[in-house]
Amino acid sequence: MTKVCVASRSFSKHPILRAELLEKYPDATFNDEGLSLSGQTLIDFVCGHERAITALEKLDANFFTAVAGLKVVSKYGVGYDMIDFDAMAKHSVKLGWTGGTNRRSVSELMISATIALLRHVPAANREVLDGTWRQHKGRYLSGRTVGIIGCGHIGKDLTPLLNAFGCKVLAHDIVDFPEFYATHDVEPVGLEDLLARADVVTVHLPMDKSTENILSARRLGLMRPQAILINMARGGLVDEAEMKAMLMDGRLAGAAFDVFAGEPPEDMELLKLPNFLATPHIGGSAEEAILAMGRAAIDGLDKARIPDSNWPK
């Protein structure tokens, strides 16, 4: 019988996902102790299993060398920057992965964060809690120019939602999507043009060598003082120190981050800024998205292939 293990803590404690996996693999092993598995503890947990479901666990060269007998890793969640593809291919381990399973969850969080910042909800809420009662004059999302950096699964899901608000949508991506752009009245532009023109900039990119610090201090400086920045994608895409300085001195109106270069973030000065909204990596944490990601991970145990240079971004 095929031996399967689940390293992910959230998958392991989800009653529906557990039941559905056990229907297919009755002897599956779960992370029932709720441990944050890494390094040797992750290796010890996975050893002896042929297939594994992982989430945010780091799968590096040492991991793949140590877990002889592992044939398949199925990803719970859409990001895979924590997996060493070269090492995975070297050891002939297949990857089960489905893109876009959390797209609506991330899109709705992006919309909510954008409206919250435009209406000064974080600042107003803090003032009410401190005993101050005063009105803040905000701005509509309706009619604003929104720049989407990365028009993959989430960018494409977000676009019609923005269309419903009457937004002008700009998009920057290394891949051209002419039919989609034409259908949804999207203007494809260069990255720096997008930064200079958008009222709202939202980032939806994977994290790799080509995207690390893509919003550098110089590029952030292209944004207008009344603009806001949203990052619901991956930490490390934005120069957080420069963004903080811009928020503090009025060169940027607001920012909302669900992801950080280091998690949990330790810069309390940034987190306490009235024009900054932080959430604890909950982009995919809607009940519907969790089920979709979990079911995709179960399917991925049987539908997997060795990743290569053509793996989708």
Is the model's pLDDT at 23 over the cut of 60? Answer: yes
Same domain, 63 and 85: yes
Rounded Cα gap, residues 249 and 253, in angstroms: 9
Same domain, 249 and 183: yes
Same domain, 121 and 131: yes
pLDDT at 310: 65
Same domain, 168 and 193: yes
- Residue 231 placed within a domain: yes
Which residues participate in catalysis according to the annotation?
234, 263, 281
Per residue in 269-281, pLDDT (tens digit) is 999 999 999 999 9
Same domain, 159 and 234: yes
- Residue 311 placed within a domain: no
Q: How many domains does the chain have?
A: 2
Same domain, 97 and 110: no
- Residue 313 placed within a domain: no
User: Measured at the alpha carbon of residue 311, what is the angle toward residues 187 and 18, in degrees to the nearest 5?
Assistant: 105
Per residue in 203-251, pLDDT (tens digit) is 999 988 899 999 999 999 999 999 999 999 999 999 999 999 999 999 9
Rounded Cα gap, residues 201 and 168, in angstroms: 12
Asked if 51 and 2 touch (Cβ cutoff 8 Å), the reply is: yes
Domain extent for 66: 4-101+286-300
Cα dist from 151 to 82, 110, 167, 189, 202, whole Å: 22, 14, 16, 12, 10
- Residue 8 placed within a domain: yes
Asked if 225 and 251 touch (Cβ cutoff 8 Å), the reply is: yes
Same domain, 264 and 295: no
Rounded Cα gap, residues 147 and 36, in angstroms: 36
Q: What pairs with residue 170 in β-bridges? A: 147, 187
Same domain, 63 and 204: no
Which residue do the tokens 């199925």 mark?
74
Same domain, 129 and 257: yes
Rounded Cα gap, residues 258 and 270, in angstroms: 13
In this structure, of 8-22, 99-113, 240-254, 296-310, the range with the lowest mean pLDDT score is: 296-310
Asked if 262 and 281 touch (Cβ cutoff 8 Å), the reply is: no
- Residue 312 placed within a domain: no
* Domain containing residue 149: CATH number: 3.40.50.720
- Residue 50 placed within a domain: yes
pTM of model > 0.85: yes
Same domain, 59 and 82: yes
- Residue 253 placed within a domain: yes
Same domain, 59 and 190: no
pLDDT at 143: 98
Same domain, 111 and 83: no
| Per-residue tokens: 173 | 């991506």
- Residue 310 placed within a domain: no
